[in-house]
Amino acid sequence: MADISSETGTADDLSIQEDAAQVTSVSQLSDVRPTDWAFGALQSLVERYGCIAGYPDGTFRGNRAMTRYEFAAGLNACLDQITKQIGVGKDNFVSREDLAALQKLQEEFAAELATLRGRVDALEARTAELEANQFSTTTKLNGFAWFNLTGAFAGDRVRVEATRNVAPLDRAAGRDPVTNRPIVQRVDDPEITFSQLVWLTLTTSFTGKDQLITQLAVGNGNSPANQFTSAGLFNTFGTPFLDQTAGGNANEVILRELSYRFPVSDRLQLVVGPRINFYRYFDNNNFNFFVNGASSFNSNNSPLLTATKRGAGALALWDISRRLKLSVGYLGESMEFLPTSVFNSASNPSQGLFGGTNTTTAELTFSPSDRANLRFLYSRSNIQQIDGLIGAPNGKPINGLADDGFGGAVGDATANTFGFNFDWSVTRRFGLFGRYGYGETNIFPRTNRPDGKVKTQSYQLGVAFPDLIKKGALFTVSFVVPFDITGGRRFLVSGGGNGGKQYEIEATYYLPITDHVSIVPAFYMIGNANNFDNNPTIFVGNLRTQFSF
């Protein structure tokens, strides 16, 4: 109940009297006194229904006169309170006499109530306008931390194309001077590894509609499956995407991504930056996202895309309609895991943004329903030769290394890659996904050898089971042929094998333990590794613990 006793002549009263002096109409000069019927009626309502008369300290101050606008404020508060009680079914608590008194009070002070409510509406509108147009710069931090326990083994020694049996990342390719065939080594099973990877992402907005993305990464992963790879195939088959070093050296903090995204219109956004993550905007899929879906390097994205996984340049993202989207981008090579002295041509003055390795990519996404997505990709690549060879790590669509076919050097290459990617949630608990890619790389020997093409295709088909056992979980199984050489194998000094066709079967189960902790076991089986049809089958197991914050 509001307190109706108060001392007169206080500082509060003086301030109220000053406010009351600022009148806007003659009717405001007519005070409402404690002896008036209206005053008594309102006081009775306050005491009976617990409505507050509108003063910050909760008092009614019933021993002094009020302006009509002060009185209207108190009346309006009581009207709101009684209306709420009626709205929740308490209308039987309001007597007919009180309703009649309210009716009479509203008629007597109709003008003041209307003015008061008009001012409140104007204030609310102005507040909404300020909230819509004022935005302070904010930066949000989120991150991932991954622990990887990984083992790999084969039934026999595995054939790899390399000049020496050295660490996988240091393997070089060459030809036998007598037979002209690629030199082959045989390697033993690796040991079990336990590694880590951390990503920290800072997302800054200056207007509320834009995003400045800064991502730092550090890791020390070197998956055991790399022990079985030919030269130029490091971090491809049997390797979980998140079992990596992040940079060129283990436990070295690197800048993985730096880009700025902003709207041009309601349907068009631009992305610019010195290090844009290609896979943030292209070749996505609802069932093989590495955080919770099929997770190896060869199944997470097309093995034929792209020569610039991270690059400097710009992209345009156009929402043509609710069902149709177009993404177009140009990126010059700027990859965090390659040494600047040899790669990262976009920041090298002798090559620059347009002179080194670069790609122009377009993707059209058609969503015939809310449960299905079809993506069509095309990528045009200019690929810089390194030490007279074309190929990994910046030579996609080639997986491996290419020379002139006789051990001689080649010049810079060009490539055209086409891709198709789909995901379909057939039901709430069952989905299909897959992709197909085809690429042609034009080889230009520096010798007198004729030009030629390396033609490669890849394909994947998988099934997904969302919410298996637990809500939020995802189980996927997929079959992948990562790099099937359909033409020009003679140019491959690594990756061609003996003409076999490598295939992979992958099973991954994402199991959320809490909102921020997940366990992700994965199993990979690789047949005809390195495209040798006489290689033993390789088995890889990975147990990942994932922390998100």
14 pLDDT tier (thresholds 50, 70, 90): very low
> Phi/psi at 62 (nearest 5 deg)?
-85, 5
> Which is higher by pLDDT, 168 or 531?
531
- pLDDT at residue 79 in the model: 77
State the Cα–Cα distance between residues 345 and 131, nearest whole angstrom: 45
Question: 83-101 pLDDT, tens per residue?
Answer: 776 666 555 566 777 777 7
* CA distances (Å), origin 115, targets 35, 76, 128: 25, 11, 20
Edge-to-edge, what's the strand order for the sheet holding 401-402? 390-391, 401-402, 492-494
State the Cα–Cα distance between residues 319 and 341, nearest whole angstrom: 39
State the Cα–Cα distance between residues 538 and 242, nearest whole angstrom: 20
Q: How many CB atoms are located within 10 Å of the residue 490 CB? A: 17
CATH of domain 138-548: 2.40.160.10
Closest CA to 141 of 198, 200, 199, 197: 200
Question: 237-255 pLDDT, tens per residue?
Answer: 999 999 999 888 899 999 9
* CA distances (Å), origin 269, targets 307, 327, 329: 24, 10, 12
> Which is higher by pLDDT, 509 or 341?
509
50 pLDDT tier (thresholds 50, 70, 90): low
417 pLDDT tier (thresholds 50, 70, 90): very high
Strand (E) positions, 346-487? 358-369, 372-383, 390-391, 401-402, 413-427, 430-443, 452-466, 474-487
Cβ-based neighbours of 509, under 8 Å, separated by 6 or more? 468, 473, 474, 475, 476, 520, 521, 522
| pTM for this prediction | 0.75
SS3 label, residue 201: strand
Q: Specify the DSSP class assigned to residue 157.
A: P
Token pair of 16, please? 């109220």
How do beta strands 358-369 and 324-333 pair?
A: antiparallel
- pLDDT at residue 32 in the model: 66
Q: How many CB atoms are located within 10 Å of the residue 518 CB? A: 20
Q: Where are the domains of the chain?
A: 11-133, 138-548
Residue with tokens 């333990």: 513
Instruction: For the chain, state the CA radius of gyration.
Output: 35
Per-residue exposure over 183-201, b if at least 16 CB sit within 10 Å of its own CB, e if not: bbbebebbeebebbbebbb
Q: How many CB atoms are located within 10 Å of the residue 287 CB? A: 25
State the Cα–Cα distance between residues 298 and 240, nearest whole angstrom: 9
Residue with tokens 């057939």: 426
User: In the chain, how many H helices and how many E strands?
Assistant: 8, 21
User: Taking the CA of residue 394 as centre, how many other CA atoms within 13 Å lie in the half-sphere pointing to its CB?
Assistant: 31
Question: 362-376 pLDDT, tens per residue?
Answer: 999 999 999 999 999
404 pLDDT tier (thresholds 50, 70, 90): very high
> Phi/psi at 465 (nearest 5 deg)?
-130, 90
Closest CA to 102 of 87, 113, 117, 89: 113
- pLDDT at residue 134 in the model: 61
Would the pLDDT of 409 be above 70?
yes
Question: 449-491 pLDDT, tens per residue?
Answer: 999 999 999 999 999 999 999 999 999 999 999 999 999 999 9
State the Cα–Cα distance between residues 256 and 270, nearest whole angstrom: 20
> Phi/psi at 440 (nearest 5 deg)?
-125, 125
Contact 495, 230 (CB under 8 A): yes
Q: Terminal CA-to-CA distance of the chain, rounded, Å?
A: 48
Contact 313, 330 (CB under 8 A): yes
Q: How many CB atoms are located within 10 Å of the residue 531 CB? A: 27
